[in-house]
Amino acid sequence: MKRLSLTARLSLMFMLAVTGVLAAAGYFFSQLSEHHFDELDRHTLHEKLEASRRLLGELDDLQNFERVRPQLQALLGGHSEMRGFIFDERGAQLFPQPGVDEAEPPLLGLIGREAGELTLDGHVWRGEAGHLAIGAQRLTLLILLDVTAHKAFFHTFSGWLWSALVLCALLSGLLGWLLVRSGLRPLRDVTQVAASVSAKSLRERIPDESTPAELQQLVQAFNAMLARLEDAFVRLSNFSADIAHELRTPLSNLMTHTEVALTRARTLDQYQDNLHSNLEELQRMSRMIDDMLFLAKADNGLIVPDAKPVALDALCAQLLDYYQLSADERGVRFELSGAGTIQGDLLMLRRALSNLLSNALRYTPDGERIRVTIERGSGHVTLEVSNPGATIAPEHLERLFDRFYRVDPARREGSPSNAGLGLAITRSIVQAHQGAIGCTSQKGWTTFHLEFPG
């Protein structure tokens, strides 16, 4: 079953709301009008009944009834829309035609009540009854008022009311459809832009200047999503280009070494040297592929650290001992201060800190020092790795953790052991531990800040 569109739903709701309001208003107006006419009729009947009582109250004996008949005829018989009846206690009709032994059955039914309606001669009459004692006789007065015209009016009024209600429902449905369709035009614009989005048109944005306030957040969120998609697509394109660029060098070296080896016959030692050189290039490619797989898992949340207590000061001391030989060759000193323990994966943290220390050692001038500082704060542990060297421009700081990114484009090829993925891997490891990482560079010192929950 096909579901109704949003335009149809809102139009239907608008039509039902308008129809409901009009129906309620018409019902209350009809009831109020009918009540008003009923009050007028009851007032007229009561007035005639009281006047008849006063007139009959002047009699001391029923034998003198004929004396007031002319006045009663003038009071009750001079109006075509009104009829009056007077009965004695036996039910004999004294007015307007005496001598009738019994009243008509409809009249008898009305006499037993104070007020009501009956049908006589094709007309609808509203009646009110009253009692009066004259001497020892008890009389019953019945006044009838013709309300046929009122009933016909309300019947016609009801017909016109329902006809107008149906017409208004149709018109309100049409008007609601036009208003909703006009009001949902920004949604169609969003749909049109969304349908036109492709890899070549991610720069398209929905203008929000004329967008209604209710759709401002939707349009802004959609534009923000397009901006994120554009940024992710650009990063993916650059990443693909960087992968091809980084893999081209070792593949080219392998091909060159192999072609040279095949140009003529070589000695066993020469073939072994060539194979060792090829092995180094293959190992470099293997490390690069492993790093890329690690980052792919991190991007999809597949890296789950094994949470165990890790003493950062002990871990840093082990890594500094490992790099001490390389540092001694260049006269670089390590300074470690502070202590702190966090919950994390020892191997992953070792890899992240090793990347930071190797970078610091690579860019520290000979004879300088590298500082590693650990501090415990309120609910967190911070670790900083600082090294002297050239100040990094602010526009490069945010991109240091991008894959294959290097500050100096001239050194794009890097060293055989450096593919430009170390800092990206470090950030993924820190984020997997629910931590944060950042970098500052000023006055000849570059510092990487790591913060872990603790």
In-domain check, residue 174: no
Instruction: Judge contact between 203 and 54, C-beta under 8 A.
Output: no
Q: Based on the fold, state whether residues 16 and 150 are members of the same structural domain.
A: yes
- Concatenated DSSP letters for 66-125? HHHHHHHHHHHSS-TTEEEEEE-TT--EEESSTTBSS--HHHHHHHTSSEEEEEETTEEE
Phi, psi of 49 (to 5 degrees): -65, -45
Q: Based on the fold, state whether residues 324 and 444 are members of the same structural domain.
A: yes
pLDDT of residue 99: 46
pLDDT of residue 104: 56
In-domain check, residue 176: no
Q: Based on the fold, state whether residues 234 and 291 are members of the same structural domain.
A: yes
- Residue 60, token pair as written in the block: 């001391």
Domain end residue (candidates: 299, 334, 352): 299
Q: Based on the fold, state whether residues 327 and 409 are members of the same structural domain.
A: yes
One digit per residue, the tens of pLDDT, for the chain of length 454 reads: 567 788 888 888 989 999 999 999 988 988 998 888 889 888 988 898 888 888 888 888 877 888 888 888 888 876 778 888 888 888 788 887 654 444 455 565 565 565 678 777 788 888 888 888 887 788 888 888 888 888 888 889 888 988 999 999 999 989 989 988 887 887 777 777 777 776 666 777 777 777 777 777 877 888 888 888 887 777 777 667 766 766 777 788 788 878 888 888 888 888 888 888 888 878 877 877 777 777 777 666 667 777 889 999 999 999 999 999 999 999 999 999 999 999 988 888 998 999 999 999 999 999 999 999 999 988 899 999 999 988 888 888 878 887 777 665 544 444 445 556 788 888 888 988 889 999 999 988 999 999 999 7
In-domain check, residue 188: no
Q: Based on the fold, state whether residues 134 and 228 are members of the same structural domain.
A: no
Domain end residue (candidates: 142, 167, 192): 167
How many residues does this entry show for the chain?
454
Helix (H, G, I), strand (E, B) or coil at 144: strand
Comparing C-alpha atoms, which of 7, 12, 15 is closest to residue 171? Answer: 15
**Number of alpha helices (DSSP H) and beta strands (DSSP E) in the chain:** 11, 12
Comparing C-alpha atoms, which of 66, 38, 49, 39 is closest to residue 142? Answer: 49
Helix (H, G, I), strand (E, B) or coil at 413: coil
Q: Based on the fold, state whether residues 317 and 389 are members of the same structural domain.
A: yes
The radius of gyration of the chain from alpha carbons, rounded to an integer in Å, stands at 51
CATH of the domain at 446: 3.30.565.10
Rounded to the nearest 5 percent, the helix, strand and coil shares of the chain are 55, 20, 25
- Concatenated DSSP letters for 353-364? HHHHHHHHHHHS
Residues 6+ apart with CB under 8 A from 170: none
Whole-number Å distance between alpha carbons of 144 and 129: 9
In-domain check, residue 178: no
State the residue range of the domain holding 383. Answer: 308-453
Domain end residue (candidates: 299, 334, 368): 299
Whole-number Å distance between alpha carbons of 101 and 88: 10
Q: Based on the fold, state whether residues 218 and 100 are members of the same structural domain.
A: no
3-state SS, one letter per residue, for 275-304: HHHHHHHHHHHHHHHHHHHHHHHHHCCCCC
Q: Could you tell me how far CA 5 lies from the centroid of its own chain?
A: 18
Q: Based on the fold, state whether residues 278 and 330 are members of the same structural domain.
A: no
Whole-number Å distance between alpha carbons of 438 and 41: 91
Comparing C-alpha atoms, which of 94, 192, 101 is closest to residue 142? Answer: 94
Q: Based on the fold, state whether residues 325 and 283 are members of the same structural domain.
A: no
DSSP state of 379: S
Instruction: Judge contact between 444 and 394, C-beta under 8 A.
Output: no
Helix (H, G, I), strand (E, B) or coil at 439: strand
pLDDT of residue 244: 72
